[in-house]
Amino acid sequence: MMTPKEFLERIKKNKPDPIMKPDRKPGHNHQWILTARTYAPPSMGSTEGMSDEAKQQAAMGVTTILWQCSGCGETKKEVMLGSDEDTMEELMQKSELLGPQYIQRDGKTYVFMRWVPPSEQQGYLPVK
């Protein structure tokens, strides 16, 4: 299974999937179109009795992407660990737009926000 970073790099470069080598008609190059994308988030349940691969999937979540060729209609499926979305970038955008983002986990609250360094003038008014 490829990592999200490897997946995104391959998409940007438009490299064909090295695993999928379908029987092609002479002269036909596939034109893959994204048809579906799903994400199963990580599971916090018990992993007893699971295979190592299933444990990894449960811990990191799984993204499944379906592609279809616009020419011949052939489909292919790609599965990768984690999400192909950049959650840090998403958090940064939300904090810029909506203010601090509060995340609660295990009874603790975490705050994600843009840090503004204090300036020397902050809080003081000039006196004449």
pLDDT, residue 107, reads 84
Structural domain includes residue 126: no
- According to DSSP H, which parts of the chain are helical? 4-13, 52-60, 87-98
User: What is the identity of the amino acid at 48?
Assistant: E
> Quick one: 9 and 65 in the same domain?
yes
Last residue of a domain, one of 84, 107, 123: 84
Structural domain includes residue 124: no
Tell me: the pLDDT tens digits for 43-100?
Answer: 777 778 888 888 888 888 888 999 999 888 889 999 888 887 777 777 788 888 888 8
> Quick one: 92 and 45 in the same domain?
no
Structural domain includes residue 123: no
> Quick one: 12 and 51 in the same domain?
yes
Structural domain includes residue 125: no
Calculate ∠ Cα 94-96-101, nearest 5°.
Answer: 50
Structural domain includes residue 55: yes
Distances (CA, A) of 70 to 13, 19, 20, 29, 75: 19, 20, 16, 10, 10
pLDDT, residue 68, reads 92
Structural domain includes residue 120: no
Q: Give the burial string for 101-120 (b: 16+ CB within 10 Å, else e).
A: eeeeeeeeeeeeeeeeeeee
> Quick one: 76 and 95 in the same domain?
no
Whether pLDDT at 13 is above 80 = no
Name the band, by pLDDT with cuts 50, 70 and 90, for residue 11.
Answer: low
> Quick one: 109 and 80 in the same domain?
no
Residue 81 has φ and ψ, to the nearest 5°, of: -70, 145
